[in-house]
Amino acid sequence: MNIAIGLKISSCALLRNKIRSLLTMLGIIIGVSAVIAMIGIGQGARESIKEKIAGLGTNMLLVQPGSLTRGGIRGGMGSINTLVPEDAFAIVEKCPSVAMAAPVVRTTAQVVCGNLNWSTRITGTTPDYLPVRQWLDRIGQDIFG
């Protein structure tokens, strides 16, 4: 009997205060929706980061040239060319645990076509670059479905 009386009193209170009841329901709905959306965004970001880390390769080591400091100003990684392609070939030859090496040269250039131009990055490498970066499987999936 107490439950029936409680339900009757609460329904009368809800009907008398319609705006207050509506605003309370709206607040609960917005709060729950926000929590669900944030959990979804967090899980999506986690998966994206996992994919990017997996794309680096599980057993890959990057060796990059050093940096130049001149007049107290540090140029940052790759500001001086301390490596040559022969270094990569020597690593493969002298280190039996290294299966492949792909030297990379990067630069920027202005590309011009007619009256249009675009500043772009140019990368030069060897044919071993795609298998080293494990891109062959992904490229094949993109091209062949």
The predicted-structure confidence for 45-58, as pLDDT tens digits, reads as follows 999 888 877 766 66
pLDDT at 145 over 60: no
Q: Is there a contact between 111 and 120 (Cβ–Cβ < 8 Å)?
A: yes
- Do 33 and 90 belong together in one domain? no
Residue of 54, 62, 137 lying closest to 98 (CA atoms) = 62
Q: Which residue has the higher pLDDT, 114 or 75?
A: 114
In a domain, 75, yes or no: yes
Q: What does the mean pLDDT of the chain come to?
A: 81
Both 129 and 93 in one domain: the answer is: yes
Flag whether pLDDT at 61 surpasses 90: no
CA dist 53 → 57, 91, 133 (Å): 7, 25, 12
User: What is the predicted pLDDT for the residue at 144?
Assistant: 46
Residue 28 shares a structural domain with residue 82: no
The residue among 53 and 6 whose pLDDT is bigger is 6
Confidence (pLDDT) at 77: 60
pLDDT band (50, 70, 90) for residue 38? very high
More confident residue, 129 or 28: 28
In a domain, 137, yes or no: yes
Q: What percent of the chain has pLDDT over 90?
A: 18
**Is residue 140 scored above 60 in pLDDT?**
no
Calculate mean pLDDT across residues 95-117: 86
Domain count, the chain: 2
Same structural domain for residues 85 and 129? yes
Q: Are residues 80 and 44 in the same domain?
A: no
- Mark whether 34 and 71 lie in a shared domain: no
Collect all residues with Cβ–Cβ distance below 8 Å to 57 and sequence separation of at least 6.
132, 133, 134
| pLDDT reported for residue 14 | 82
Q: Are 125 and 104 in contact (CB under 8 A)?
A: yes
Domain containing 23 equals 2-55
